[in-house]
Amino acid sequence: MSEMNAVNFNAGRWMYSVANKITRIIPGLTLTIILLTLAAQISLLAASFLPLKAIILIGSPNIPSYFPEYLKAFERKDLFLLLCSTAALFYVLYLLSEALIKKLTKLGSERLILNSRKMILFDGQNEVASKAYLRFTRSLAAIVFLSLTIAALGYIYLELTIATLAFWLCWAIAIKLNTVIKKSRKSQNIQTNYESINPLGSVGFFAAFSYLAYDLLSDTPPKLLPAIIGILLTRQIMQRATLLIQDLTSLKEQHLQISALFFKDHKLPSEARGKPEKFWSLFTNDSVNQWASDLLQELSDTQYVKHDIKWHQTGIHDVFAIEVESETSSGQKEIYLIKVFNTNRTTLAINEATLLMEPNLEGIPTARLLQATVLDGFHCHIFTAQSLNKIPAIETGIHQAASAKILMRHSPPQSLIQKYSRSRPLLWDRLNDTTLNGFGTALNGSEHLHEFRKFMQLKHQLREILRSTPLFINNSQIGKDQIFVSNDGKLSISYWGNWSLEPIGASLQLKNLSASLPSLMADLQQHREDTQQMSEKHLMLAALCFSLDQLLSRQHYLSAAELLPEITALVTSIETENLAVIK
């Protein structure tokens, strides 16, 4: 079999190789599943067809003449009950077949993995193997079923069979022409657009039905029973053919993982996620020069005569970037940062664009996002910056703290708060009963259990205090590659994929925090009106609870328990002060 990472991946040969491998290792099991799949499909077809005949029968004064002779021996009522009970029996047979298929598929995939004698390759590999094996056996059964069904349709209603096959032939020609056109345009990584597959069965059935309607209105219409059976068989052909294409497409898209699971000599590449080949191809010299120039030309009316492009290290896996220094005919230079997100980083791209495209964000330390667009299927963000001078690694902690302080000075727009709170849990939501109950279970029998019980008695008060604390835009997951300092000392951050809204004080480092709280509180009250009723205790509580949430999410329960006494003391103190104010 050809190498899976080859550019000219032969899908047909690979499908044949895997099918051959499966039938050779577990032939009996595979044949049983194929037969059960056929039984399920035929049972479902009968369960769909018989109720229709029963309705036709009950709506007629007598048994219709086109019913088989052996059925006319029954009374009309008895025949109706027979058809209904037979339909129910076929449906039960269909359900039993599907249940057996599920069990045997799991058994077959486990045997295939055991046969390869490999370590665990990735999370959820058993599920991937089971689904792949199911799709292969279902595809083989579908080929047999389609062959039999088309043959039966050809015997019953030849003209409708020709119309059905003509539809699929036209679709195949259209796909081939589309591929040829893309090749003529020298498109990279040509892929068939499979978005049209989902409605394909319905469109094909409508086309077949249109032909049937035309034939029924012609001078020589077909008989009614062949027409009814023909349209039912046509629907099954369209559905099964569509499902077959979907299964083969899914198998092709997962060929790296499937080959690594089922073949002894194949290894899973480290870049099995996303679209590595297509993603890297964007950054070849010819390609990057072309699309960078096109993007900047569309973005600005300025006519550039030169673009100096160099690689920019983002520090984020599968997020690539380039620095572009563009020069006009007058010698004026502008600096751009263009980031491209691989498909497995789409969420980060959307998060970043959601924040930076929000109005009324003046003052936050960010490179200005000019445009969020899509480049050949990948999310692309274009920033402008005064400079792209990165900080020394040793100064990362200093600038992270400075960034957090700047962000806390600015109130998030109300529209952003509403959007975020409808989509993501805030700190008090994350410290919910389910999380805390799991925390308590882990502390059973430990010396921290008493402190945990005291904490649980104040959990409602804690959530109310956090809920009443003003929010800020938190961007704590940044490193040296995402922090810039301009020549005049202005701080700028280029990455916002993991931002969140947190109570003021969250994400502050607990070490030596108490000493810096007075100056931080004074600075906040100078810049934000909504912090006038806050105290240093609110900042410390938010910082402790944020750290508690982080530790709980990583299941570091004993470390989290060490924070409980201080959290409990702060909640008690704040509640006491609030009661004193009320009195």
Q: What is the CATH number of the domain that holds 226?
A: 1.20.1560
Residue 269, in any domain of the structure: no
Same-domain pairing of 166 and 243: yes
In a domain, residue 372? The reply is yes
Q: Which of 353, 344, 390, 397 is nearest to 372 (CA)?
A: 353
Examine the domain organization and report whether 197 and 58 are in the same domain: yes
Q: Which of 217, 237, 262 is the last residue of a domain?
A: 262
Distances (CA, A) of 304 to 138, 327, 383, 479: 57, 6, 17, 33
Where in the sequence is the domain holding 509, given as residue range(s)? 402-474+504-582
Quick check: is 498 in a domain?
no
CATH code (residue 357) = 3.30.200.20
pLDDT at 3: 37
| Residue at 1 is within a domain | no
Rounded Cα distance, 454 and 448, in Å: 10
pLDDT in tens, the chain (583 residues): 333 343 345 667 877 787 787 888 888 888 898 899 889 888 887 888 788 777 877 777 777 666 666 666 677 777 788 888 888 999 999 999 989 988 888 888 788 777 766 555 556 677 777 788 888 888 888 888 888 889 988 888 888 889 888 888 888 888 788 777 766 554 444 444 455 566 777 888 888 888 888 888 887 888 877 887 888 888 888 888 888 888 888 888 777 777 777 776 666 655 445 567 788 888 888 889 889 888 888 887 778 888 899 999 999 999 999 999 988 877 788 889 999 999 889 999 999 999 999 888 888 898 889 999 999 889 999 998 877 888 888 888 888 888 999 999 999 999 999 999 988 999 999 999 999 999 999 999 889 999 999 999 999 999 999 999 999 999 988 988 999 888 787 888 999 999 999 999 998 988 888 888 999 999 999 999 999 989 999 999 999 999 999 999 999 999 999 999 999 999 999 998 877 766 5
- In the chain, the number of structural domains is 3
217, 345: one domain: no
Q: Which residue has the tokens 């790296």?
A: 256
Residue 433 shares a structural domain with residue 351: no
| 447 and 418 part of one domain | yes
Whether residue 111 sits in one domain with residue 15:
yes
For residue 495, being part of any structural domain is answered with no
Indicate the residue among 198, 231, 262 that finishes a domain.
262
Specify the pTM: 0.66
Closest of 314, 251, 270 to residue 5, by C-alpha: 270
Q: Residue 32: count other Cβ atoms within 10 Å of its Cβ.
A: 16
Considering the domain architecture, whether residues 338 and 468 belong to the same structural domain is answered as no
Q: Which of 236, 262, 288 is the last residue of a domain?
A: 262
Residues 172 and 62 in one domain: yes
Q: Say if 391 falls within a structural domain.
A: no
Q: Which pLDDT does position 313 carry in this prediction?
A: 93
Do 373 and 436 share a domain, yes or no?
no
Alpha helices (runs of H) in 254-326, residue ranges in sequence order:
255-262, 276-281, 285-299
Distance CA 544, CA 62 (A): 82
Residue 369 lies in a domain: yes
Q: Is 479 domain-assigned?
A: no
With H, G, I as helix, E, B as strand and everything else as coil, classify residue 501.
strand
Q: Do strands 378-384 and 333-341 pair parallel, antiparallel, or not at all (unpaired)?
A: antiparallel
User: Which residues of 205-356 form beta strands (DSSP E)?
Assistant: 304-312, 319-328, 333-341
Are 38 and 168 in a shared domain? yes
**Judgement on whether residues 358 and 443 belong to the same structural domain of the protein:** no
Residues 371 and 432 in one domain: no
